């Protein structure tokens, strides 16, 4: 079984879109795919049911099996959400859920929240969750101004914590780039030797076919 942990250099970076895209791509290749979200914040009610927003994004395009360990309403870090909702979080449940969910699957995409140093539970960051699950990561970034700094710091964070980085995905690549955006990859290669797995452009018509076609060029 293969698995990969998707993290980002910031919030609202497109981790969910990339996670969904990779899941759909692997499914199109004939693999038995799963999508696991240890902690889901920002849940909302619809027709009396509590909806996990990131998992719901996947369900728009596929019936790929998905699972979360903890679901919170607050649009904050999982740790703060658990405090606000008075939920006792057990890190061992996350590990058990992941192991049991991964059975009979060829490829599992695990999506984090925030970045590597986003608080997951009391006394634990997402970097700790990744190490507990013993997973390789893909880092999602964008070419926006200031993101080179965030990207290099995330790479350093992974190195310090002995987390293996499979590579970077540059999301939200615009058609008409500014000078800063056009120079982003050159500067990234100048300061890091981590492989760039590919670039993802913004898709106007979000269909399953269009998403898969956009992700086919990735080296994963």
Q: Which of 37, 67, 105, 172 is the catalytic position?
A: 37
Q: How many CB atoms lie within 10 A of CB 148?
A: 21
37 classed as catalytic: yes
What pairs with residue 68 in β-bridges? Answer: 37
Are 138 and 197 contacting, i.e. CB atoms less than 8 angstroms apart?
yes
Backbone angles phi, psi at 208, to 5 degrees: -60, -45
Residue 151's nearest CA partner among 129, 167, 164, 128 is 167
How far is 197 from 66, CA to CA, in rounded Å? 24
Burial class (CB in 10 A: 0-12, 13-18, 19+), 13: buried
Q: How far is CA 10 from CA 35, 200, 220, in A?
A: 21, 17, 22
Whats the size of the chain, residue-wise? 220
**Which alpha helices (DSSP H) does 60-178 contain, by range?**
78-84, 91-102, 126-133, 147-160
Q: Annotated active-site positions, please?
A: 37
């Amino acid at each position: 079984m293969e698995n990969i942990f998707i993290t980002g250099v910031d919030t609202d970076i497109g981790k969910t879109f990339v996670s969904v895209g990779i899941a759909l791509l692997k499914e199109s290749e004939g693999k038995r795919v799963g999508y696991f979200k240890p902690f889901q914040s920002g849940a909302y009610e619809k027709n009396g049911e509590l909806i996990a927003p990131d998992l719901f994004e996947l369900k728009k395009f596929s019936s790929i099996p998905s699972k979360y360990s903890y679901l919170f309403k607050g649009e904050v870090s999982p740790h703060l959400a658990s405090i606000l909702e008075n939920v006792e979080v057990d890190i061992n449940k996350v590990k058990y859920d992941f192991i049991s969910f991964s059975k009979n699957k060829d490829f599992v995409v695990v999506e984090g929240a925030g970045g590597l140093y986003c608080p997951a539970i009391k006394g634990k960051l997402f970097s700790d969750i990744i190490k507990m699950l013993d997973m390789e990561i893909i880092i999602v970034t964008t070419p926006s101004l200031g993101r080179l700094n965030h990207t290099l710091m995330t790479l350093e964070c992974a190195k310090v914590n002995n987390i293996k980085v499979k590579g970077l995905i540059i999301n939200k690549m615009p058609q008409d780039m500014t000078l800063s955006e056009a120079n982003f990859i050159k500067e990234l290669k100048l300061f890091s030797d981590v492989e760039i797995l590919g670039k993802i452009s913004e898709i106007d018509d979000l269909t399953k076919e269009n998403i898969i076609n956009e992700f086919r060029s990735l080296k994963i």
